[in-house]
Amino acid sequence: MAPPRVPWIYPSLPLLSSLLLVFHASPPSTALRNYPENEANSRDSRPIYPPVTNHCVTALCAGVVTLLDSMSALADLGWEAYPNEGWEEISVMDERNTPMRTYQVCSVMEANQNNWLRTRHISREGAQRVYIEIKFTLRDCNSLPGVSGTCKEVDVGDRVLKLNTEVRDISNLSKKGFYLAFQDLGACIALVSVRVFYKKCPLTVRNLAQFPDTITGGETALVEVHGVCVNASEEFEPPKMYCSADGGWLVPIGRCVCKPGFEENKDICQPCRPGTYKASATDAYCTKCPPHSSSPHEQAMECICEKGFYRAETDPRSMACTRPPSAPENPISSVNETCVTLEWSPPRDTGGRGDITYSLHCRKCSGEGKKCAPCGSSVHFVPRQFGLSSASVLITDLQPDSNYTFTIESQNGVSDLSPTLRGTVVINVTTSQTVSVVLKERRSKDSVTLAWQGPERPNGAIVEYEVIYYEKNQREQNYTVLKTRSNMMTVDGLKPGTTYVFRVRARTDGGYGTYGGEIELETSHEDVLAIGDPNQSTILVVSIAGGIVLLIFLVTCFVVSGRHCGYIKAKQDPDEEKMQFQHGRVKLPGSRTYIHPHTYEDPNQAVRDFAKEIDASNIRIERVIGAGEFGEVCSGRLRVQGKREIYVAIKSLKAGYSDKQRRDFLSEASIMGQFDHPNIIRLEGVVTKCKPVMIITEFMENGSLDTFLKKHDGQFTVIQLVGMLRGIASGMKYLSDMSYVHRDLAARNILVNSNLVCKVSDFGLSRVLEDDPEAAYTTRGGKIPIRWTAPEAIAYRKFTSASDVWSYGIVMWEVISYGERPYWEMSNQDVIKAIDEGYRLPAPMDCPVVLHQLMLDCWEKGRSDRPKFGQIVTILDKLIRNPASLRELANSSACREDPPTPEFSVSTVDDWLDTIKMGQYKENFSSAGYVSLDSILYISVSELAKMGVTLAGHQKKILSSVQSLQTQGTHVQV
Ligand code: AMP
């Protein structure tokens, strides 16, 4: 990531396209020209070289390609030495008596040495960045006769020379190849091994996408690589990964999924076994065929239904195959004049489905059931004829005194697919005869006596008669029904001199007959007897037309009261909950709370309340140091009353501003003016009474932190860096205690003074985000610096001190990496996606474990899980007091000699789980197919949950360990 910090390889000989390596030793005094030869000739006095173990054995250190290795040379290396008597190729034996080819020079007794050694041309094979690992020994000059002892001594023990190893990298190579040149200016040195290699991210499969062998980038830290879906898989989301400079793969995004008929097994898609199927690419695994279906061959996308069973088009493939239902059972009819109600029981065999419906077919028969014909459209079915969901129907408008045959058919979703006959049941119904009622009446002042004649051909035995009456014109309000078994009835309790309407009908065991026609009778004022009055008695042939309204009304009442009586008024939803938003802040007793300038009706009042007005004549502007949204930023001096001049930064509002711009510009002063803390930029005052309007702050000699760090890459001790971070955390604690949420905490918004004190700045309102070049528009319209912002703030603008803590974690990463851009060249969209998928920035180079852990804590998904700024200050204070705690580094490059962190010197998933005390999940991992350490490197929370690791704490523990495995890359022995 960062360029090499020690400039001892000079990529600066363009003509030779070579590299120069210079060995200095002081003083280059008298030469001992024969020293190497002497050593070589006299076996006893020869130094013993420790075995040169190659710490980067290719199998372990996947992704390393060696371009040159002096240790593997079988014959002379034959490098060019100039002058001839300078570097000399000498074969020596190591401890195990293995011959090694070395180059040695030891002209320590002669002044002005300038000995050159140049390798053969090394082809770069397309690599842009190569690494050179040199193992060498320096000779103790004290042991050499005549040398006064100023050579560097590195002997260890008795004649065993200590082997020095240096690894350096050079990037941006563009020619075909290069030479390495070593220059000796008078040291006594033996070049024991020179190895030149480059790194590549090895071919790998992640999320079912194959990523090719990829040579790591040159200057650019990451190489974006698009994956190709493995056989029998398809893109779910375009897969890509980044090949890091270390030869490790980072941030897998997107994935492929196995096509229908295939399931994932480790890194391949394998066909579903017979008896199983997978219908959709997004299903994870093949599943057993549902009941009544089978898949005789591999690779089934669905199972075939057994004979007689079917699958409806809308049935999910996972549903059992089904068949048409059997016939409805126990049909019964209930005739009501020319209506009939049919009811039946559902079929005994539903065919395995719940979607049973019924349809009716009606035929009218004559000639004792011999000649039947369809009923035609005059017959009506309530609620409908076809597709009934309940097992009953009312049929109206039949002809009286007729025979009907109804066929009730049961159906379900697969009936149409079956060629065999449906389940049907037949019921015959005879409608009642038209009832002719001969009405006789006798009236008195409060009663009426009626006598009638029953139907000539009733459709069954007459059970009773029903008399209905009401006052004329008041039927709707009040009517009375009376029943009798006899053929006459006296209705009393009537009002004198009132007209009533009467109707009578018979009920047989086959149902009700039709009503006789209406007859109007007026009660007398006096008692009158009038029986058999031919004018009054009427033979009424019931007019169907006249009676039908009443009939339907009555029948409907009957049906409704028996089954669906009335309707249930839709229950009203409960009152909508009213969301109460609390705008006020909770103020801790005794704490000062920041006052938002917008709470002032007059924003100028906020400026007057919080910022001191400075007389422009006391300000001396000296030079331009930056540019802000509203105008230039200059440095200069301010004469403070009764004090000496102080250095200040002066921000001025450029001419031609609008009222809003002036307000927004000064809002920064009215916010900053409320703060008083050594790690918050101090406001000296404002100039508002004359133009240009200015904001005066303390001057921060080293400018913004990001630029400052880039300029001083690698120049600070870790304690100094932690000191800076502590300052920022302390400033942020102060702000959060005052309930101020910064929203744009980033190294570019921290200023550094000459004492390396960091102070938080940039408190504008609109400008907090609008002005930030890093801010990008989100889908919700706001502008947000994505890389620095917590996911909940990006997703739904939930900005809190906890989201500031997330940003603080990013600032930590920026500081430790000396101003590296978070997430490098990844796009904002990729960053959002990667964070959502659980990816977090790996530890920067040379980052202490504890600091990376703190960063990870700041990047907890749940904002309440992140530390508070107060806790961060405490943690950093402890680290500063105990620098040893910073010694353990989070990562070591792929080919470093540092032993792997003990935690991960494991080779199996089981060992790893034991090491992190999660051994109880061994079964879960192995049955989910995670059998190699390699396979767990990109496991996600959802996968953990799927395999049964559901406790959040355990998931967290496992994932953070996986993350460490990722950053350790090739240390994992797989
Ligand atoms: P700003 O508009 O606050 O982002 O300032 C623009 C640039 O001016 C910053 O990036 C700094 O380089 C510089 N600057 C702002 N304030 C100060 C200050 N108090 N001391 C030194 N440089 C400053």
Query: Taking 70 as the threshold, does the pLDDT of residue 412 lie above it?
Result: yes
- Give residue 631's region: left, alpha or beta (phi > 0; psi -120 to 50): left
145-154, 426-435, 903-912, 951-960: least confident range: 145-154
pLDDT tens sequence across 569-587 = 222 222 222 222 222 233 3
- Report which protein residue has its CA nearest ligand 1's atom 4: 628
Distances (CA, A) of 725 to 745, 787, 845, 856, 874: 12, 19, 17, 15, 12
For position 276, what pLDDT does the model report? Answer: 95
Mutation test of ligand 1: which of 621, 632, 633 has the most ligand atoms closer than 8 Å to its C-beta? 633
Q: Report the run of H or E that residue 939 belongs to, with start and end.
A: none
Question: Please, what are the domains in the chain?
Answer: 64-201 (2.60.120.260), 204-258 (2.60.40.1770), 328-431 (2.60.40.10), 439-523 (2.60.40.10), 598-698 (3.30.200.20), 704-892 (1.10.510.10), 909-969 (1.10.150.50)
- Reply yes or no on whether the pLDDT at 387 is more than 80: yes
What's the confidence (pLDDT) of residue 164? 84
**How much is the pLDDT for 563?**
28
Q: What is the mean pLDDT of the chain?
A: 78
pLDDT, position 866: 97
Helices (DSSP H) in 687-788: which residue ranges? 705-711, 718-737, 766-770
User: Is residue 841 pLDDT above 90, yes or no?
Assistant: yes
pLDDT value at 953 more than 80: no
- Ligand 1 centroid – CA 698 distance (Å): 10
Say how many Å lie between the CA of residue 758 and the centre of ligand 1.
Answer: 13
- Are 669 and 686 in contact by the 8 Å Cβ rule? The answer is yes
Q: What percent of the chain has pLDDT over 70?
A: 77
Establish whether 224 is an annotated binding residue.
no
Residue 328 has pLDDT above 90, yes or no: yes
Are 675 and 735 in contact by the 8 Å Cβ rule? The answer is yes
In angstroms, rounded to a whole number, what is the distance separating the alpha carbons of residues 727 and 530? 117
Find out whether 79 and 90 touch, Cβ atoms under 8 Å.
Answer: no
- The band of 119, judged by pLDDT with boundaries at 50, 70 and 90, is very high
> Could you tell me which of 159, 134, 155, 167 has the C-alpha nearest to residue 43?
159
pLDDT confidence bin for 859, thresholds 50/70/90: very high
886 CA to centre of ligand 1 in angstroms: 32
Ligand 1 atom nearest to 767, measured from its CA: 2
633 in a labelled binding site: yes
**Residue bearing the CA closest to ligand 1, atom 5:** 628
Task: Map tokens 């029986």 to a residue.
Answer: 531
Q: Among residues of the chain, what percentage have pLDDT more than 90?
A: 38
Q: Which of 260, 303, 302, 267 is nearest to 285 (CA)?
A: 260
Determine which residue's CA is closest to atom 16 belonging to ligand 1.
649
pLDDT 10s digits, 807-816: 999 999 999 9
Sequence-distant (≥ 6) Cβ neighbours of residue 618 within 8 angstroms: 638, 639, 640
pLDDT-derived band of residue 25, with 50, 70 and 90 as boundaries?
very low
637 CB contacts (<8 Å, ≥6 apart)?
Answer: 619, 620, 622, 645, 646, 647, 648
| More confident: 68 or 36 | 68
| β-strand partners of 258 | 233
For the chain, report the end-to-end CA distance as a whole number of angstroms: 25
Supply the pLDDT for residue 481.
Answer: 83
Per-residue pLDDT at 536 exceeds 50: no
53 — pLDDT class (breaks 50, 70, 90)? very low
625 known member of a binding site: yes
Atom 10, ligand 1: which residue's CA is nearest? 704
Query: Which residue's CA lies nearest to atom 2 of ligand 1?
Result: 628
pLDDT in tens, 54-83: 433 332 234 788 999 988 877 788 899 999
- Long-range pairs for 239-244 at CB < 8 Å and ≥24 separation? 239/206, 239/207, 239/208, 239/209, 240/830, 241/206, 241/211, 242/824, 242/826, 243/200, 243/201, 243/211, 243/214, 243/215, 243/216, 243/217, 244/1, 244/201, 244/216
Higher model confidence: residue 939 or residue 763? 763
pLDDT of residue 145: 62
* 970 confidence band (pLDDT: 50, 70, 90): very low
pLDDT tops 80 at residue 150: no
Å from CA of 20 to ligand 1 middle: 41
pLDDT tens digits for range 668-685: 999 999 999 999 999 999
Residue 721's nearest CA partner among 788, 813, 783, 640 is 813
Per the model's pLDDT, the better-predicted residue between 663 and 368 turns out to be: 663
38 or 483, higher pLDDT: 483
Mean pLDDT of 424-429: 88
Query: What pLDDT score does 801 carry?
Result: 97
Instruction: Examine the pLDDT at 650 and tell me if it is beyond 90.
Output: yes
With a Cβ cut-off of 6 Å, ligand 1 is lined by 625-626, 628, 633, 649, 681, 697-700, 703-704, 751, 761-762
Of 650, 665, 704, 709, best ligand 1 pocket probe by most atoms within 8 Å of the beta carbon:
704
| Segment 754-787, tens digit of pLDDT | 988 999 999 876 544 555 667 666 555 457 899 9
C-alpha 695 – ligand 1 centre gap (Å) = 11
* Distance of alpha carbon 970 from alpha carbon 964, whole angstroms: 11
Neighbours of 14 (CB within 10 A): 8
Please tell me the residue having the least CA distance from ligand 1 atom 15: 633
Say whether 425 counts as a known binding-site residue: no
pLDDT in tens, 713-743: 888 889 999 999 999 999 999 999 999 999 9
CA of 352 to the centre of ligand 1 (A): 75
Residues annotated as catalytic are: 744
pLDDT band (50, 70, 90) for residue 966? low
Question: Where is average pLDDT lowest: 239-253, 379-393, 454-468, 620-634?
Answer: 454-468
290 vs 467, residue with greater confidence: 290
Answer whether residue 611 shows pLDDT above 90: yes
- Evaluate if residue 541 carries a pLDDT over 50: no
Residue 628 among known ligand-binding residues: yes
Ligand 1 centroid to residue 626 C-alpha, Å: 6
Q: Give the Å distance between the CA of 675 and the centre of ligand 1.
A: 18
| Residue with more model confidence, 274 or 339 | 274
Residue 548 has pLDDT above 90, yes or no: no
Greater pLDDT, 298 or 924: 298
Nearest CA to ligand 1 atom 7: 626
Does 439 have pLDDT greater than 70? no
pLDDT value of residue 50? 52
d(CA 776, CA 783) in angstroms, rounded, equals: 5
pLDDT digits 0-9 by tens, 161-195: 577 888 888 888 888 999 899 988 888 888 889 99
Q: What is the reported pLDDT for 246?
A: 79
Residue bearing the CA closest to ligand 1, atom 23:
703
d(CA 734, CA 740): 9
Instruction: Using the predicted structure, report yes or no on whether residue 789 has a pLDDT greater than 70.
Output: yes
| 228 C-beta neighbours (distance < 10 Å), count | 14
Say if residue 130 carries a ligand binding annotation: no
Closest residue CA from atom 21 of ligand 1: 700
* pLDDT at residue 121 is higher than 70: yes
pLDDT of residue 777: 60
- Residue to mutate (ligand 1; options 751, 767, 770; most atoms within 8 A of CB): 751
pLDDT band at 210 (very low <50, low <70, confident <90, very high): very high
Mutation to probe ligand 1, out of 623, 625, 637, 752 (largest number of atoms < 8 A from CB): 625
Going from the Cα of 298 to the center of ligand 1, the distance in angstroms, rounded, reads: 68
The reply, when asked if residue 716 is annotated as ligand binding, is no
pLDDT at 366: 80
Q: Atom 22 in ligand 1: which residue has the minimum CA distance?
A: 703
Q: What confidence score (pLDDT) does residue 400 get?
A: 75
Q: What's residue 643's pLDDT?
A: 72
Q: Are 341 and 393 in contact (CB under 8 A)?
A: yes
Q: What secondary structure does DSSP assign to 650-707, as a single string? A: EEEPPSS--HHHHHHHHHHHHHHTT---TTBPPEEEEE-SSSSPEEEEE--TT-BHHH
Q: From the CA of 669, how far away is ligand 1's center (Å)?
A: 14
